[in-house]
Chain A
Amino acid sequence: MKPAPFTYVRPNDLQEAIAHLRASNGMAKVLAGGQSLVPLLNLRLTQPELIVDISRIAELSIIEEDENSLLIGACVSHAAFEDGIVPDVAGGLLQRVGAAIGYRAIRNLGTIGGSMAHADPAAEWPVLLVALDAVIGYRNPDGRQEVSASEFILGPFTTVLQDNEILVDIRIARLSLSAKSGFYKTCRKSGEFADSLAVIVIDPERPLPRVVLGATNDRPLLLATTGNVVASLDAWSPAAEHAVREAVTADLETAFPSLDPYGGQIHRVTVVRAVREALSS
């Protein structure tokens, strides 16, 4: 349970960090809070030659709010969301989801950018940020790039980031005052990774409700059929529940034709509970 040997650098700015990544020819790993990376190092599931610690780079800890959106540096901790230090432009969702990640000792060091860049399918931030249609900013030797959260994640533990690129910030557009939302996480023990995870955002000022499912064997999945059904519902009722269940089943069958009944049931119940919360509020 000890990592294989590596070299460690703690650059002062992004330019220096990217130079280190470029020089390492793909044999480097970026360290933010380390709450996923260091366990993987301990288990020797990853054996980089170089660790580039970006946790002290000042511009990665920014929290900026304007009337339309929130800009958060990649190295802002989960605990900063939990404690309400980050202005919640999503009507309480950021705080709730931040507080649902792992344990307090993990949340004190773990970061939103690290979670996004790691892209664990069972992690909370990727699902929420896809539901909120957040914009991910990253830097490479050529400059700054931006991509939507749903385009950023390509699959389990896989993102658009290349070896010489670093996620720098996340922009979340403010939800309108009439927006409704729901969040449900299914796991057997509090603090565990999710068996299923769903976030729903219904904002009348946005085109369609976004229902996003996580903890599958794919990237966060936008449930299009369910979103359309939810758009036609005003309130929660037995008929609404039936319609949502049918829609989730249809979405799951399209996305995962060979999903086992247990997995299907867990995901269905999780999405239904998230939608129920949104429509009951």
Chain B
Amino acid sequence: MSQVKLTINGREVSTDVEPRLSLADFLRDHIGLTGTHLGCEHGVCGACTVLLNGKPVRSCISLTVSCENMEVRTIEGFDDDAVMAVLRNAFSEEHGVQCGFCTPGVLISARDIVTRLPNLPRQRLREELSGNLCRCTGYAGILRAIEVAMEELKIGGGAK
């Protein structure tokens, strides 16, 4: 067992974990944050995407022990986030959600895209989102939702 201390959605957590424990399994099975979904467990599908020190990463291929002193933000940690509020609303309005399995990862990637690359044309948006698989193949609604959110965020000056 290894000692690890990290911050999850603003709350400090200090515990012993097996070194082989992925961040995704730690979040789901030890902390009870089951909004982070596990699809492929080898970094391809994007369902487990979380923010680590503010940047999107795959929690299924990140070891919990290597996150020592880092800040993790999961899909449960965006209640007060203005950008995520715009995205959630757009996903609802534009039918960006079907079964919902990929949605936590898609939203976290989408938030990164709209803040980092606010003027992305559709073709580049498709490429940026290519690391998140939706097995319902609901991509048209997802892309529309992100584009609507991008426009709204521009009008609102980045955050509402």
Contacts and interface: CB of A to CB of B under 8 A. Distances in A.
Contacts of B128: 104
Contacts of B49: 105
Contacts of A38: 22, 43, 61-63
Main secondary structure of the interface of B (DSSP, over half): mixed
A104 B109 contact: yes
B137 interface: no
B37 to A, nearest CB: 14
Contact of A103 (B55, B62, B126, B130): B130
Interface string B48-77: 010010011110111101101000000000
B93 interface: no
19 contacts: A2-B22, A3-B20, A4-B20, A8-B66, A31-B63, A31-B66, A35-B43, A42-B22, A42-B61, A51-B63, A53-B65, A55-B66, A102-B43, A105-B46, A108-B52, A108-B55, A108-B56, A109-B57, A109-B62
A264 interface: no
Chain A's interface size range is: 20 to 34
A10 B42 contact: no
B73 to A, nearest CB: 13
Contacts of A3: 20
Interface in A84-118: 102-106, 108-109
A7 interface: yes
Given A5-B19, A10-B65, A42-B60, 4 more contacts: A4-B20, A38-B62, A104-B128, A105-B57
Q: Which 7 A-B pairs have the closest CB atoms?
A: A103-B131, A8-B19, A38-B61, A39-B42, A1-B41, A190-B130, A3-B20
A189 B130 CA distance: 8
Contact of B42 (A1, A103, A105, A189): A1
B41 to A, nearest CB: 4
A1 B109 CA distance: 24
B2 interface: yes
A155 interface: no
B94 interface: no
Contact of B131 (A51, A55, A106): A106
Q: Pick from B46, B57, B61, B132 the residue with the most CB of A within 10 Å.
A: B61
